[in-house]
């Protein structure tokens, strides 16, 4: 039965940034497929709500607060996952982000902070998780990257470059750990989350939808279905790939144009 290959019964997954948005959507999808899902983020109340919903949908939800920028907390996250779940099969590196900022006002610290949040944290957590996966015969890592890793738009020099780094980290880890560990990524376009909502009004949303070939913005569920495919045996012959999920966009549909204020003579 082909659909059975999407099941994650008896498997244990970690999802970072699981308190809301795309991370929450992925956690719920893995739970519906039967997984024990360890939901990790900084906000305890949001984590507990996600974990409870995972359980309500047929999985087993566990909340483990974690700041992915702190390596000791990542170590605790992996150890607690194995203690509570008995194993580790799936890791979803979803936590990340960065506010738009022009290059001319982006400091070295700002630039390096974007890398630490979006790339280094995913690398460190993957390095911690992989031995646990190998101990049970293998596993799957899914990284959540962004369309701005390949599209160009003013204001995203740090975020876009960091997400491009995460995309290539995906390919390089896949090369090193095949065939026992599969590593893939979902490359998201504009998804309706609280974070995007900070920039949206009705007019802006309409303009973004008009610039999207499929005529609408994405939802966390859209991304979650792809992440489930990559986490499960349904994608057992897939590794090192970055899957674009963006409504068909080939150009940026970002709603806010950030441009430098050029002085005369500059």
Candidates 235, 53, 47; CA nearest to 141 is 235
Q: By CB neighbour count within 10 A (0-12 exposed, 13-18 middle, 19+ buried), where does 202 fall?
A: exposed
Determine the 3-state secondary structure of 181 from DSSP: strand
Active-site choice (159, 177, 229, 243): 159
Distance CA 165, CA 77 (A): 24
Tokens of 214: 């499929």
47, 18 contact by CB (below 8 A): yes
177 has catalytic annotation: no
How many other C-beta atoms lie within 10 A of the C-beta of residue 126?
A: 21
Partnered with residue 143 across adjacent β-strands are 93, 185
How many other C-beta atoms lie within 10 A of the C-beta of residue 192?
A: 16
Find how far residue 209's CA is from the centre of its chain: 23
Q: DSSP letter for 246, please.
A: S
Residues with catalytic roles = 159
């Amino acid at each position: 039965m082909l659909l059975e290959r999407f099941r994650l019964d008896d498997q244990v997954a970690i999802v970072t940034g699981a308190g809301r948005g795309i991370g929450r959507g992925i956690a719920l999808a893995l739970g519906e497929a039967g997984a024990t899902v360890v939901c990790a983020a900084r906000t305890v109340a949001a984590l507990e709500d996600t974990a409870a919903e995972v359980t309500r949908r047929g999985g087993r939800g566990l909340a483990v607060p974690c700041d992915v920028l702190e390596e000791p907390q990542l170590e605790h996250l992996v150890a607690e996952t194995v203690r509570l779940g008995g194993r580790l099969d799936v890791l979803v590196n979803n936590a990340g982000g960065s506010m738009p900022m022009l290059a001319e006002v982006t400091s070295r610290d700002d630039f390096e902070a974007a890398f630490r949040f979006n790339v280094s944290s995913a690398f460190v957590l993957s390095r911690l998780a992989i031995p646990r996966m190998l101990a049970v015969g293998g596993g799957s890592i899914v990284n959540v990257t962004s369309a701005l890793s390949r599209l160009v738009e003013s204001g995203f020099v740090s975020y876009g470059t960091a997400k491009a780094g995460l995309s290539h980290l995906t390919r390089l880890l896949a090369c090193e750990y095949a065939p026992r560990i599969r590593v893939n990524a979902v490359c998201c376009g504009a998804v309706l989350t609280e974070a995007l909502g900070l920039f949206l009004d009705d007019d802006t949303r309409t303009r973004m939808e008009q610039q999207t070939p499929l005529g609408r913005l994405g939802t966390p569920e859209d991304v979650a279905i792809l992440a489930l495919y990559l986490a499960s045996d349904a994608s057992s012959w897939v590794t090192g790939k970055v899957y674009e999920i963006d409504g068909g966009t080939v150009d940026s549909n970002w709603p806010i144009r950030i441009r430098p204020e050029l002085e005369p003579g500059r």
